[in-house]
Structure 1
Amino acid sequence: MTVSLSRRSLLGRGAAGAAAIGAALAPAARARECGALAPGRKESLYGPDPRTAHLVFNENPFGPSPKALEALAEASTQGAYYQGKSVAYLAEMIAERHGVGPEQILITNGSYEGLTALGLAYAKKGDILGPELFWDSTALFVENNGYGRIVRAPMKGKLEVDLAALEARVGEGTGMVHIVNPNNPTGRLIDPSELRSFCTTVSPKTMVLIDEAYIELSDDPDGNSMMDLVRAGQNVVVARTFSKIYGMAGLRVGYAIGPAEVIQRAQNFVVSSPNVAGISAAIASYDDEAFLKTSKSKLLQARQMIMEGTKAMGLDPLPSQTSFVFVDVGMDADAFRARMAEKGVVIRGKYGEHTPYSRVSCGYAEDVKRYLEAIPYAMEA
């Protein structure tokens, strides 16, 4: 059976996603009356309510960089026009850094669109295979709209990705393997040598997609990345984003790096073009090492506060190599989220059957402090 793909059908089937976003934002609505404006913050149409401790979507409040803001101001004067040669320029920058050709780069409006395009392209060949827990929003888009199916392998130990279980499920009906490393929502990093071995074994059978949205926040970004396999010509795609370490979630720039034929296949499923504002900020901040160092330092400081603070209260946070922490709070995570909202703290609720695990983002130190101070109240329920 041939499935028709059109812009209208893609947009028309987004009700489930909109409902999910509404559910995630509901605690923020309840939290609005729970605090005063923090020093240095103001009301804005474009960001979270400044009265809340907004620790829910893994955004980086320390960006964009000053250089990105300057570029945005300049680019806005050219807002009457499409992107010109700016997208190709950014692709060349990325290609040069990673030692690949620009034809191996796919730049999209956030990594969401690129991941979705890859899912749509390869679901035509077979199932999307992934672990039980991963950032599956793009794979769910494919599945929920009838374009393919997700097959999940169970986790092992304390919510670790089980590569052996994934490999055992690879077969003729597998269209692609989708792994997020470090993982979202768990925050765990897969051992790089084990992941390289897995990719080398599996990629001759099916394309392996590694979403590295948080790789820059890991302890050894270059050593933990699978970019070396892309350079070696393996059937592996690495996805990255400017949303996390660069603090540009609202500017929507992401990219994928892989074999030229895979990138071209995915390009056929991209339905929009990158925006001038986001591209200008990405070009300006891509090599801004001073900003990246400061951004990472502040996020890791917040992560350390969460790890130490939750452990001190007898809770059990999983090891994290990301800008968030997955904490076993010992109670229903949705109930915990609702109680935290009463104190003006906005976090995620439960994930599937893993009821006691609650994800909290790293952000401003004062917001993390507010999160920690609200935990005893939330656990009184």
Structure 2
Amino acid sequence: MPTSRRSFLAGASLAGGLGALPVSGLGASITAAAAAAPDFGPKAGQALLSRNENPYGPAPSALRAIADTAKMGCYYTERGVERLTAMIAERHGVLPSQVVVGEGSTEILCAIALAWGRKGAILCPDLFWDFTVLYGERQGITALRVPLAADMSVDLGGMAARAGDGVALVQICNPNNPTGILIPSAALRSFAAKVTPQATLLVDEAYNELTDRPEDNSMIDLVRNGADVIVCRTFSKIYGMAGMRVGYAITSEANAQRIRSHLMSFGGNLSGLAAAIASYNDTPFLDQSRAAVLEGRAMILDAVAKAGMTALPSQTNFVFVQVPDANALRDAMAERGIAIRGAYGRWSGYSRVSTGKLEDVARYAAALPEMTKRLWA
């Protein structure tokens, strides 16, 4: 662990947490490999707060597994997929045949877009992480978009009203990206009861582990109860494995088979699977990872308030800040070596900033008041 990071965390409320992770026992080879990999991660001196990554992962347990299994990279990975599938099924009380593991949840979401989009339209909010829907549209599927409510939350009533004939899939990201807003569990369950008799409900729960009550906020119990629901999860966020591309879906056996028939790869990334298997039940790391995210989020919200600005309520590892011009703020921050997101299409009045390393969040927090005065005073 770099000295600067260690000293920073020593004074933070996370003391004894991330600073105590035993990464020093992983061997000099891992440290040397990381130092010699300039093509990955932030540029030198950059505070990378634009991509919702968790730089406190992968877990030490995952790094050990990567080092131990790298020499097996010449082999395909079906047994590793089977093991991770069984672990996920056991935790969530479903059959292994109800779990689909893919190269990140993106592959699975794209497969769903194709499989269901060829049967009918995909109904979705106007603003959400729509990369996979856009992929489907490029392949000829139809997407029906419903505007957000006035408070920037997903308009469940408006979506339910559109979920009629011709809609094969209803897709939601909960909590939503880029807004960070969580749909209350009761409201989403009521919505599911209304739409699933007519269409499959897909809930992307990429940020579920970062919500206040992850189990209550998940719709996996609806799958166990036989509802026509697909839940997608990822190792990219709380596990800190965005670059290792491991994700999964939990749904009915029939839906799972349908998804598998549209996957674009087989087996998977050996290192990613080994890391996922090793860290899936690594509770100490997950607790420390979550604590770092929550601390970073609090730092951002405090900085926003001190700058006289407002932000949407977030249950994720990013915050959607209301600003006069998101692109102007992005460019001004870039001059300081701080990377944040610019405008999302016509939503130019909101700026998304991710939690990132705490020392990088501190750089954003220090710069924000000055930037807002310079740009809009």
Deviations 1:225-279 (A, max 9, x none): 0011010010000000000000000110000000111111111111112111100
Q: Which of the residues 39, 43, 63 maps onto 2:4?
A: 39
Q: Which of the residues 280, 283, 293 maps onto 1:289?
A: 283
Alpha-carbon shift at residue 50 of structure 1 (Å): 3.2
Matches within 5 A, 1:1-381: 39=4, 44-143=38-137, 145-273=138-266, 274-329=268-323, 331-379=324-372, 380-381=374-375
Aligned residue in 2 for 1:5: none
The list of structure 1 runs, each at least 4 consecutive aligned residues, that deviate by more than 4 angstroms after superposition, is: 40-43
Q: Secondary structure at the match of 1:325?
A: strand
State how far apart, in whole Å, the 2-side matches of 1:67 and 1:38 are: 21
Question: Counterpart of 1:101 in structure 2: which amino acid?
Answer: L
Q: Residues 38 and 51 of structure 1 are in contact (CA less than 8 Å); yes or no, is this contact kept in structure 2?
A: no
Q: Residues 334 and 349 of structure 1 are in contact (CA less than 8 Å); yes or no, is this contact kept in structure 2?
A: yes
State how far apart, in whole Å, the 2-side matches of 1:175 and 1:128 are: 6
Alpha-carbon shift at residue 45 of structure 1 (Å): 2.4
Question: Counterpart of 1:175 in structure 2: which amino acid?
Answer: A
Deviations 1:172-223 (A, max 9, x none): 1112000000000000000100100111221111000000000000000000
State how far apart, in whole Å, the 2-side matches of 1:39 and 1:150 are: 47
State how far apart, in whole Å, the 1-side matches of 2:192 and 2:92 are: 19
The range that moved more, 43-52 or 177-186, is: 43-52
Question: Counterpart of 1:94 in structure 2: which amino acid?
Answer: I
Q: Residues 105 and 232 of structure 2 are in contact (CA less than 8 Å); yes or no, is this contact kept in structure 1?
A: yes
RMSD value over aligned CA atoms?
Answer: 1.4
Question: Counterpart of 2:121 in structure 1: which amino acid?
Answer: D
Q: Secondary structure at the match of 2:295?
A: helix
Alpha-carbon shift at residue 374 of structure 1 (Å): 1.9
Q: Secondary structure at the match of 2:72?
A: coil
Q: Secondary structure at the match of 1:122?
A: helix
Q: Secondary structure at the match of 2:145?
A: strand
**Normalising to structure 1: TM-score of the pair?**
0.88
State how far apart, in whole Å, the 2-side matches of 1:367 and 1:259 are: 42
Deviations 1:33-87 (A, max 9, x none): xxxx993695722211131110011000000001000100111010111114110
Deviations 1:288-310 (A, max 9, x none): 00100000001100000001110
Q: Residues 324 and 360 of structure 1 are in contact (CA less than 8 Å); yes or no, is this contact kept in structure 2?
A: yes
State how far apart, in whole Å, the 1-side matches of 2:78 and 2:52 are: 31
In 2 relative to 1, CA 38–183 (structure 1 residues): closer, same or farther, beyond 3 Å?
farther
Q: Secondary structure at the match of 2:101?
A: strand
State how far apart, in whole Å, the 2-side matches of 1:364 and 1:47 are: 12
Question: Counterpart of 2:125 in structure 1: which amino acid?
Answer: P
Deviations 1:318-357 (A, max 9, x none): 100000000002x211111011100110010111222110
Q: Residues 303 and 368 of structure 2 are in contact (CA less than 8 Å); yes or no, is this contact kept in structure 1?
A: no
The range that moved more, 37-46 or 123-132, is: 37-46
The alignment covers a number of residue pairs equal to 343
Q: Residues 154 and 183 of structure 2 are in contact (CA less than 8 Å); yes or no, is this contact kept in structure 1?
A: yes
Question: Counterpart of 2:63 in structure 1: which amino acid?
Answer: L
In 2 relative to 1, CA 343–336 (structure 1 residues): closer, same or farther, beyond 3 Å?
same
Q: Residues 326 and 358 of structure 1 are in contact (CA less than 8 Å); yes or no, is this contact kept in structure 2?
A: yes
Alpha-carbon shift at residue 146 of structure 1 (Å): 3.4
Question: Counterpart of 2:4 in structure 1: which amino acid?
Answer: P
State how far apart, in whole Å, the 2-side matches of 1:351 and 1:323 are: 18
Q: Secondary structure at the match of 1:85?
A: helix
Q: Secondary structure at the match of 2:4?
A: coil
Question: Counterpart of 1:344 in structure 2: which amino acid?
Answer: G
**Normalising to structure 2: TM-score of the pair?**
0.89
